[in-house]
Amino acid sequence: MPKPFRNTRIQFRFPRAASFLAALAALVTVLIAPPAAALAGNGAKPPDESRPVYSYEQAVRESVWVDTGLDGDGDGRTDRVAVDVIRPREAAEQGIRVPVIMDASPYYACCGRGNESQKKTYDAQGRPLQFPLYYDNYFVPRGYAVALVDLTGTSRSDGCTDVGGRSDVLSAKAVVDWLGGRARGYASARGRTAVRAGWSTGAVGMIGKSYDGTIANAVAATGVPGLRTVVPISAISSWYDYYFAQGAALFGSGPDGLADRVESAAARGRCQAVQRALREGAPRSGDWTPLWEERDYVKDAGRVRASVLAVHGMQDLNVRTQHFGQWWDALAREGVERKVWLSQAGHVDPFDLRREEWVRTLHRWFDHYLLGYDNGVEREPMADVERAPGQWATDAVWPPRGTSATTVRPAAGPVPGVGTLGLLPAPAGAASVFTDDPALDESDWAAHATESTPAKASFLTGPLARDLRLSGSSRVRLTVTPSTGSAHLTAVLVDLGPAVIRNYAGAGEGIRTLSGRTCWGAGTSADTGCFRVTEPDTAQVAHTVFSRGWADLGHHAGLEEGEVLTPGRPYTITLALGATDHVVPAGHRLALIVAGTDAGLVQPASTRPRLTLDLAGTAAELPVTGGWPAFLRATRGGPGGGPSGPGGGSGGLRQPYDAGPPVTAPGLRPPAVTALP
């Protein structure tokens, strides 16, 4: 495992002497103007990357209020959103236009950004001093502007927060339009002095974690001109799926609670109608409503024209990997140029996981898509995947070539409630019975996967003869008969075997923050560009839950409207499990566990049902690299271990059943879900 940086200062400082300006002019001529693409056309060898040739200390720092064209708070005036901009002064003086890195967020005043919860700060005249995160420190000296946008209803902006709705999205889009000369900006919140972004090339890259990355996804889905790339980190792709899982309510308040947390005090007073609309439009029934339709960006993936560099923690139980998986798959269908980083952490920024490599990658990504450098970043491996804490591998495409949906099926074993998992269907009439226990969670079930317990049904392969890799999203079709009028269901995939993993259930969700700092770019006393270093926070476990899905059985027919179940009647529902990339090593076992309420993640149903699982009507579709032959080889010991066709092998069902010893070492208990993405 590579050692973390400790007290290393990677920092650029610029002299104030006139000699610097002379050298700067020469460097600008060589490195910045004309653009790299034009240099190649003139026969000159272009530079390999943008260089820190501009003064950060002398950069222009200004605030602009952009007219959104909306009147969300109903005060008779169109809303303006505050945009704090920092850009190279020397470029403006020489008439050189620069591209823009933009982070639109509701958190700059209420909650802060990054691992250290940085907020914007201003001097006595209201001029911006601190720009949270490192984008300004690192990229402004390299010929970029950075624009940090206060979403409507937050900090210094007008309007009302509508949590991913029209106001949020169009306010951020309006800033992209202003940067491209298509919208109006003003020097103050109420004044009439117009401000134009004549210094901008109109090329914009949006970036952000969580809510911020969600807005980047949403603006990309409008197809706005000028948005060249987006970098969504742990981002939502459909707000319904943040608050519900196929009809089952997840813990936390609704969108009105989040709006109340991020809105400015002034907005809370004027935005009661919007708050009411959020409450009424998002009933806790789990039904799909027009409010959720407006906040579903996946359906608009066909409008995306920007490239996408997506980042997600595979153990993120805040913004779960369902969001990444469905967005990625939709972008793939549309042929969008894209790249992905998948970590073993929870809701963590890659800057705090793999700092040096992340900044290098982001630098080259923005250089290519915003400055036109032909640096080959788009031809490099599509995926970086963390295999163990701090240990990464790459794939040319993701999911990797040869990955295909493989249908595996549960069957009964000699121990009640503990069956097998293979390729052949169970005989008609085979069943497994369990009773929902809202006090138990996935860790409890996995710890007793090999034992008969009343609250779950588990299905296991034997110890694998070879590594088995799953890459992508899974689905589990369940045929279930409830004993009561309501039921919630959970399905999880578990790697049964010892491992050292990131402690995603810990306070840092897989990282530990240390006292040392590293500096990224230039800085001032008000904005140093120096950040506390981190190291992996690890845990020794006996099992790893690596993919999950939940549903309300009352929504088996669709999300539009749930129904009261008829006790004794069988229902079939398909649970979507979160995207993952996990290798179950040889010697470990793969388990599928089906249970009821997942405590701490899903709110329990109104009743506590006894559930009869029809094994013949149940199957899991897994994204196996190598497809069913790879599954067969892993579970049978080799290509000669069974018949050659997908229907001929048993995947271990004909072997003597051996559940192995009980799994008694700990796993990780999921952290409580918060109401803040």
Backbone angles phi, psi at 11, to 5 degrees: -145, 145
Q: What percentage of the chain reaches a pLDDT higher than 90?
A: 86
Tell me the C-alpha distance between 142 and 52, whole Å. 4
Q: What is the pLDDT of residues 381-394, one digit of tens each?
A: 999 999 999 999 99
- Judged against a pLDDT cut of 90, whether residue 673 lies above it is answered with no
DSSP 8-state class, residue 187? S
Tell me the C-alpha distance between 346 and 541, whole Å. 16
Q: What is the mean pLDDT of residues 222-251?
A: 97
- Judged against a pLDDT cut of 50, whether residue 214 lies above it is answered with yes
Range with lowest mean pLDDT among 154-163, 232-241, 247-256: 247-256
Q: What is the pLDDT of residues 402-411, one digit of tens each?
A: 999 999 999 9
pLDDT classification of 10: cutoffs 50, 70, 90: very low
Backbone angles phi, psi at 155, to 5 degrees: 50, -115
Backbone angles phi, psi at 484, to 5 degrees: -135, 180
Tell me the C-alpha distance between 318 and 307, whole Å. 25
More confident residue, 155 or 10: 155
Contacts 24+ apart (CB under 8 A), 423-426: 423/628, 423/631, 423/632, 423/646, 423/647, 423/649, 423/650, 423/651, 423/653, 424/647, 424/649, 424/650, 424/651, 424/653, 425/616, 425/619, 426/615, 426/616, 426/618
Q: What percentage of the chain reaches a pLDDT higher than 70?
A: 87
pTM of the model: 0.89
- Judged against a pLDDT cut of 70, whether residue 415 lies above it is answered with yes
pLDDT at position 659 is 38
Q: What is the pLDDT of residues 593-624, one digit of tens each?
A: 999 999 999 999 999 999 999 999 999 999 99
Q: Where in the chain is the domain with CATH 3.40.50.1820?
A: 17-395
Find the helix or strand (DSSP H, E) in which 242 lies: helix 240-243
Q: Quick one: how far is CA 462 from the chain centroid?
A: 33
Give me the active site residues, please.
Answer: 210, 316, 347
Can you give the three-state secondary structure of 591-653, one letter per residue?
A: EEEEECCCCCCECCCCCCCEEEEEHHHCEEEEEEECHHHHHHHHHHCCCCCCCCCCCCCCCCC
pLDDT at position 671 is 62
Which of these, 155, 178, 177, 166, lies nearest to 105 by C-alpha position? 155
Residue 523 near residue 11 (C-beta atoms within 8 A): yes
- Judged against a pLDDT cut of 50, whether residue 32 lies above it is answered with no
Q: What is the pLDDT of residues 485-509, one digit of tens each?
A: 999 999 999 999 999 999 999 999 9
pLDDT at position 481 is 98
- The CATH number that domain 17-395 falls under is 3.40.50.1820
Q: Where in the chain is the domain with CATH 2.60.120.260?
A: 404-501+541-636
- Judged against a pLDDT cut of 50, whether residue 42 lies above it is answered with no
pLDDT at position 253 is 84
- Judged against a pLDDT cut of 70, whether residue 219 lies above it is answered with yes
Q: What angle do CA 591, 405, 574 make, to 5 degrees?
A: 70
pLDDT at position 663 is 42
- Judged against a pLDDT cut of 70, whether residue 666 lies above it is answered with no
Mean pLDDT (the chain, rounded): 90
- Judged against a pLDDT cut of 90, whether residue 670 lies above it is answered with no
Q: What is the mean pLDDT of residues 209-220?
A: 98
Q: What is the pLDDT of residues 77-96, one digit of tens each?
A: 999 999 999 999 999 999 99
Which of these, 548, 531, 636, lies nearest to 592 by C-alpha position? 548
Tell me the C-alpha distance between 47 and 36, whole Å. 7
Backbone angles phi, psi at 348, to 5 degrees: -130, 140
pLDDT at position 252 is 82
Largest CA distance in the chain: 87
pLDDT at position 48 is 86
- Judged against a pLDDT cut of 80, whether residue 289 lies above it is answered with yes
Fold of the domain built from segment(s) 404-501+541-636: Jelly Rolls (2.60.120)
- Judged against a pLDDT cut of 70, whether residue 564 lies above it is answered with yes
Q: What is the pLDDT of residues 616-665, one digit of tens each?
A: 999 999 999 999 999 999 998 533 333 323 333 333 322 223 334 444 44
pLDDT classification of 399: cutoffs 50, 70, 90: very high
Q: What is the pLDDT of residues 316-365, one digit of tens each?
A: 999 999 999 999 999 999 999 999 999 999 999 999 999 999 999 999 99
